[in-house]
Chain A
Amino acid sequence: MNITLNGKDKSLHKAMSVTDLLTGLELTPETVVVEINTTILQPDSYQSTILAEGDQVEIIRFVGGG
């Protein structure tokens, strides 16, 4: 299955949730903002949101310090 992640093609070898995707990318779910097909996800739906073929996924991550 193929999705677009931050403007680049990405192949997923199995069906996965947003949580699975973030884990694979070694990102902490609480420190990112996730948008799928122009909808901003709330963090409590990361586990239940399953990625679909052709999804446009944007992940904006934040690192600490200020």
Chain B
Amino acid sequence: MISINEKELSYMKGLTIGDLATSQNPDADVFILNGCPVSANTLVQDGDNCAIIQKGAIPTPAEMDYLLSSRHSPGVHKIIKKSTVAILGLGGLGSAVAGAMAKIGIGKMLLSDYDVVEPSNLNRQHYFVDQIGMQKTRALKDNLLRMNPSLSLELIDKQLTEEILPHLFRNVDVLIECFDNPVMKAATFRSALTKMENVSYIGSSGMAGFGDNNIITTRMLRQGMYIVGDDTSAARPGMGLMAPRVGIAAHHQANQALRLLLGVDKGRQHK
């Protein structure tokens, strides 16, 4: 059997993905075989997983889900889809981490920030000029749903304290700390260590300016607990936060979250 856009068809020797497309949607012009884009004349094998797409046509949510599944492989997609992450602070780090998580089809995100979009944010944060003045949680929700309409998002639009963190986040799979304020970074790490024993953790420290790319690292401090950054580059007058380097750190965080969710790196709940 061959699967094409989730339909099962019987396999015949010599069949190309283009032949299959003709029978399903003659206007299709993008062909994906087992997660990889291929040309129309690529032969298919028994058991292959095919997707055909018409360029420019907006897929239904079910089709999008299928495309993600075929691109990421069904096993990986299934795990991502049932996972929940929390993103604390929706600035340069948080808005970029959320975008990466949205694009890979994360099951659920808890998005937390108390602030509004300001002009000074736009040098690095994933908001638009016409969103200035909006609550960041609302603005980011709008943006993320345009990337992936199937997302489940929970917005937490308030200033957090060390005491309230475990009540809000103790049930997520991975907590990603993206605060600007070092006091909240320390408080969140302490809270995760002492009161959220089953939550894997990715914090951040040191990504201002335009220093060396390669001194931004992902350090494991405990099983399932990581800090991303260069550990020293604080944001200060003369060394501001800028999109390129903050983006490097954000995507370290996002990839570490993915590794923890997929079990490539052990999370805290692993015994």
The interface of chain A, by Cβ under 8 A from chain B, is: 28, 30-33, 40, 42, 60-66
Please pick, from B189, B194, B233, B246, the residue contacting A63 in the complex, using a CB distance under 8 A.
B233
Q: B233, A65: Cβ atoms under 8 Å?
A: yes
Contact with A along B198-217 (1 / 0, CB 8 A): 00000111111000000000
Q: A65, B190: Cβ atoms under 8 Å?
A: no
Given A30-B186, A31-B186, A33-B186: A64 and B181 interface contact (C-beta under 8 Å): yes
Please pick, from A33, A60, A65, the residue contacting B206 in the complex, using a CB distance under 8 A.
A65
Give the docked Cα–Cα distance between A60 and B235 (Å): 18
The interface of chain B, by Cβ under 8 A from chain A, is: 89, 91-94, 178-183, 185-186, 189-190, 193-194, 203-208, 221, 227, 229, 231-236, 241, 246
Please pick, from B178, B189, B221, the residue contacting A66 in the complex, using a CB distance under 8 A.
B178
Q: A65, B186: Cβ atoms under 8 Å?
A: no
Across-interface contacts of A33 in B (CB, < 8 A): 186, 189-190, 193
Please pick, from B178, B182, B194, B203, the residue contacting A64 in the complex, using a CB distance under 8 A.
B182
Give the docked Cα–Cα distance between A54 and B235 (Å): 36
Across-interface contacts of A65 in B (CB, < 8 A): 180, 204, 206-208, 233-235, 241, 246
CB nearest to A30 among chain B residues: B183
CB nearest to A34 among chain B residues: B190
Q: B206, A63: Cβ atoms under 8 Å?
A: yes
The list of the 10 closest CB pairs from A to B, nearest first, reads A65-B235, A63-B234, A62-B185, A31-B182, A66-B180, A62-B182, A64-B182, A30-B183, A66-B93, A65-B208
Give the docked Cα–Cα distance between A65 and B232 (Å): 11
Q: B193, A40: Cβ atoms under 8 Å?
A: yes
CB nearest to B180 among chain A residues: A66
Across-interface contacts of B233 in A (CB, < 8 A): 63, 65
CB nearest to B239 among chain A residues: A65
B42 to chain A minimum Cβ distance, whole angstroms, is 45
CB nearest to B90 among chain A residues: A66
Q: B206, A66: Cβ atoms under 8 Å?
A: no
